Amino acid sequence: VASPVLVNGEASASVPALDRGLAFGDGVFRTLLVRGGRALNWDRHFRRLAHDCGALGLPVPREEMLRAEIARVAPEAAIVKVIVTRGVSGRGYSFPTDLTPTRVVAAFPPPEYPPELARDGIRVRTCELRLSEQPRLAGVKTLNRLENVLARGEWFDASIREGLLCDRENRLVEGTFSNVFLGFGATLVTPELTRCGVAGAQRDRIRDLATSAGIACDVRDVPFAELAEADEVFVANSLIGLWPVIAHGARTWPVGPLTRRFQALLEADDAQGR
């Protein structure tokens, strides 16, 4: 039986109490899906992880080592979370340049989302919390995720599956655990993530798939009011795949043709083991 958690390659259920990941959230993470022993969308996950490590000045884990560790914790099907922190240091914010990063690779049971979510779509709400703007960290999946925790804690109505997040200028940015896409006719739009938000590997993939399919996918600022004007809406991440959004308050949408198109494109991509 594989260990569910590896810390720096060793089976372990714990990290050092003085790790900077705990002390300051000084690190980054990714969450991905393993199916049939394959880490789906791996290239983009690793590229994002490398980018995010770079944003914090962390050394990037060797790709082959990471792949091997993921295979150890998730030989078949699982959700895998990869965390890279700056490691253990003294008490203050400053740190020596020669720290050894802490690497956590943890497996969780595969997701069991009811299939009707992807088929029939979900209801969403808008969160009251406004995302703060920090260009130095925008797009980066850091361990500083209290805004997501607070936003996700705003509602308990299980029939609402996701909360949309805006910045203080009332621009639509993302969902609490997903990226958001709007369809206007034959064009897809997803918010720019240069001030806040997390750029998911699934978002990267959808943008690449759009390019390959000759579908325009504009990445730009999206005033929240545009949501109501969209012909179709969906949210996406590496675990849920792609969920159509069919209602926000009184506004409802059909499950649109772009939504179905990208569901099919993602499925085909997964089937090819990418």
Which residues lie near a copy of itself (CB under 8 A)?
Answer: 5, 7, 12-26, 29, 31, 56-57, 79, 81, 83, 85-86, 90-95, 104, 106, 108, 129-130, 132-134, 136-137, 142-153, 168, 176-177, 196
Concatenated DSSP letters of 46-64? HHHHHHHHHHHTPPPPPHH
Nearest CB to a copy of itself, comparing residues 3 and 187: 3
> Smallest distance, Å, CB 106 to a copy of itself?
6
The distance of closest approach from Cβ of residue 95 to a copy of itself in the complex, given in angstroms and rounded to an integer, is 8
Structure tokens at 123: 């209801």
At closest approach, how far in Å is the CB of 244 from a copy of itself? 21
**Exposed / middle / buried, residue 162 (Cβ in 10 Å: 0-12, 13-18, 19+):** buried
| C-alpha to C-alpha distances, 12 to 5, 28, 50, 136, 212, nearest whole angstrom | 6, 19, 24, 33, 42
Q: 195 or 207: whose CB is closer to a copy of itself?
A: 195
Which of residues 66 and 182 has its CB atom nearest to a copy of itself in the complex?
A: 66
Phi/psi of residue 23, each to 5°? -65, -40
**Residue closer to a copy of itself (CB basis): 7 or 265:** 7
To a copy of itself, the closest distance from the beta carbon of 5 in angstroms equals 5
Q: Please state, as a whole number, how many other Cβ atoms lie within 10 Å of the Cβ of residue 114.
A: 9
Phi, psi at 195, each rounded to 5°? -115, -35
CA of residue 43 relative to chain centroid, distance: 14
- Read off the tokens for 60: 């990037």
Name the DSSP letter for residue 241: E
**C-alpha span between 137 and 140 (Å, rounded):** 5
Least distance (Å) between residue 163 CB and a copy of itself = 10
Instruction: Give the phi and the psi of residue 192 in degrees, each rounded to 5.
Output: -60, 140
User: Residue 212 Cβ, how far from a copy of itself at the closest point, in Å?
Assistant: 31
Residue 25 or 63 with smaller CB distance to a copy of itself: 25
Toward a copy of itself, which CB reaches closer, 15 or 230?
Answer: 15
Kindly state the DSSP code that residue 194 receives in the 8-state scheme: S
